[in-house]
A and B are shown apart, each in its own frame.
Chain A
């Protein structure tokens, strides 16, 4: 069984994230890391492998991104993925979800015969939660997405999906695209053994040429949407803070809410 897990390298959410002058996300000035939400995808991939004793299962971590993005693949290898693929090409910079999904789809075809493609529920940067659905569309595969619980048996996959208005059980037959939420359970930390083992694993790098993708079909200049402006939200003006002393806090808060016409 071949599992490909799509992992993105993103600016640290707890750092001071910025835009570049061309309105693309600054991916160099801010420390980056494997998107936390993709750790859940790696974890579920590893759990599926572990449950399939006696079956040959390969988990390949796939990342599209700049040179630094190899760190996301490395971390996946440390967690326990078997192999890594990093698609790197200057032409990719500034790609939107449409172009990213194209590159991912071509890379998955090159990796060859995947049974299961696992994604996170969203990128933690300017994530749209659309790449998994787009991948399914491009690869002509079923999508079972936003899973909070994943079960597989043979070639069957069943997930629980918490929708806006209902909780659904969705089923599909491999090969398919799966995306998982942070409800699927904590991702493991790389163990010392895992870190040592990862040093011996190789990360294959592909360029767009290797994938047969025309450089003119990706990147900022051909994106199907254009960002006209980015602006930092004005900082909230400091509010009033009171310390409660035997009921004074509630009274002051009620006064505030009344002045604002909430009561």
Chain B
């Protein structure tokens, strides 16, 4: 069975959930090997968790020459590892960095690339959602080593004891790859709520909030949900860009999406249309968001949301 390389997405050693989803997908395709690019001892510390979720091997790549530079060194490291292991496929998270690493790697390896898969079958056929979620596309890489970037929530992490054996892999990074320097980095502030792209429930607010997100946030907290925003709300400075749902923000595909004071422009739909259940509160019965909903309330969010939150709290007991 061929090895399937999974690039581990982590923050200071803490493995992010989409990596565990990639391991579950890798298991369908072959023998999962995690590629951990990080500082001394970090791969060893993550080994137990990665093994538990299916990694047979963990390649520990020292990041001394890699961190501090954008994208290119990671692509070089993966190229060298691919040359040494001849994998059956390479799986990477569909973040902006993940996609860029994949793009450079595709050219280096002369291999086909598929981005933003929402599913990958055992034969390598991927499913993507395109045109603002209006179309589904099934595709396959036909040349070289398939390189696939996968969206969060594409699979459920699967437990199953795998060896999780750590193996150091030495890479040589060229000077040419060390040209875009990360001069400063400010970690994102924890919100105490679930990660937007990973959450089972997302409660979003738009221009209709008038800038007061407290009712949206209170509902989100009663449901254990993440908070999202439309671009209008972000452009108004009410929420940082990291909250934005849509074409130029995050794509979310939760079990439940609650849109409040959001009209439902095509660019917003692009980021939420594949949610399983969609609910909206909007005072304009003509708002296009109502074309998408499973349940809609025509009303003022400033009165509907607090009443709903109270009802949720009451039912929770």
- What is the interface of chain A, defined by CB distance below 8 A to chain B? 13-14, 17, 19, 23, 37, 96-98, 101, 121-122, 124-126, 128-134, 136-138, 140-146, 148, 158, 161-173, 176, 181-183, 223-233, 236, 239-244, 247, 249-254, 256-258, 260, 262-263
Q: Which of B133, B179, B300, B305 has the most CB of A within 10 A?
A: B179
Binds A, one of B58-66, B137-145, B157-165: B137-145
Measured between beta carbons, the chain A residues less than 8 angstroms from B137 are 23, 126, 227, 229-230
Proximity bits, B295-317, A CB within 8 Å = 1, else 0:
11111100111011011100110
A246 to chain B: closest residue by CB? B303
- A222–B266 alpha-carbon span in the complex (Å): 33
- A101–B113 alpha-carbon span in the complex (Å): 13
- Asked if A244 contacts B298 (CB within 8 A), the reply is yes
- Asked if B188 contacts A165 (CB within 8 A), the reply is yes
Known contacts being A162-B241, A170-B180, A239-B295, is A124 close to B100, with CB within 8 Å? no
- A53–B210 alpha-carbon span in the complex (Å): 41
- A243–B304 alpha-carbon span in the complex (Å): 11
Measured between beta carbons, the chain B residues less than 8 angstroms from A181 are 248
| Cβ of B184 under 8 Å from chain A | yes
- A117–B116 alpha-carbon span in the complex (Å): 25
Q: Could you list 5 examples of A-B contacts with CB < 8 Å?
A: A158-B183, A170-B70, A243-B297, A250-B305, A256-B294
CB distance from B296 to the nearest CB of A (A): 4
- A240–B296 alpha-carbon span in the complex (Å): 6
CB distance from A99 to the nearest CB of B (A): 11
- A118–B132 alpha-carbon span in the complex (Å): 25
Known contacts being A97-B113, A224-B113, A263-B316, is A241 close to B290, with CB within 8 Å? yes
- A171–B16 alpha-carbon span in the complex (Å): 27
Determine the main DSSP class of B at the interface with A. Answer: mixed
User: Which of A166, A239, A260 contacts B188 (CB under 8 A)?
Assistant: A166
B276 to chain A: closest residue by CB? A260
User: Which of B107, B182, B295 contacts A137 (CB under 8 A)?
Assistant: B107
B96 to chain A: closest residue by CB? A146
- Asked if A170 contacts B142 (CB within 8 A), the reply is no
B18 to chain A: closest residue by CB? A164
User: Which of A97, A144, A228, A262 contacts B103 (CB under 8 A)?
Assistant: A97
Determine the main DSSP class of A at the interface with B. Answer: mixed
A134 to chain B: closest residue by CB? B103
Measured between beta carbons, the chain B residues less than 8 angstroms from A165 are 11, 16, 187-188
| Cβ of B55 under 8 Å from chain A | no
- Asked if A253 contacts B72 (CB within 8 A), the reply is no
Measured between beta carbons, the chain B residues less than 8 angstroms from A14 are 266
- A249–B301 alpha-carbon span in the complex (Å): 10
- A128–B114 alpha-carbon span in the complex (Å): 9
- What is the interface of chain B, defined by CB distance below 8 A to chain A? 11, 16, 70-72, 75, 95-97, 99-104, 106-108, 110-116, 125, 129-144, 176, 179-188, 201, 223, 231, 241-242, 247-248, 255-256, 266-267, 273-274, 277-279, 281, 285, 290-300, 303-305, 307-308, 310-312, 315-316
Measured between beta carbons, the chain B residues less than 8 angstroms from A141 are 179
- Asked if A133 contacts B297 (CB within 8 A), the reply is no
User: Which of B129, B181, B201, B304 contacts A172 (CB under 8 A)?
Assistant: B181
User: Which of B110, B135, B308, B311 contacts A233 (CB under 8 A)?
Assistant: B135
CB distance from B11 to the nearest CB of A (A): 5
Measured between beta carbons, the chain A residues less than 8 angstroms from B315 are 254, 258, 263
- Asked if B296 contacts A241 (CB within 8 A), the reply is yes
- A165–B278 alpha-carbon span in the complex (Å): 27
CB distance from A130 to the nearest CB of B (A): 3
- Asked if A163 contacts B96 (CB within 8 A), the reply is yes
- Asked if A183 contacts B241 (CB within 8 A), the reply is yes
- A257–B225 alpha-carbon span in the complex (Å): 14
A182 to chain B: closest residue by CB? B248
Known contacts being A129-B100, A230-B137, is A250 close to B304, with CB within 8 Å? yes
Measured between beta carbons, the chain B residues less than 8 angstroms from A37 are 248
Measured between beta carbons, the chain B residues less than 8 angstroms from A145 are 70-71, 96, 100
User: Which of A134, A170, A247 contacts B307 (CB under 8 A)?
Assistant: A247
Measured between beta carbons, the chain A residues less than 8 angstroms from B291 are 236
User: Which of B99, B140, B294, B300 contacts A225 (CB under 8 A)?
Assistant: B140
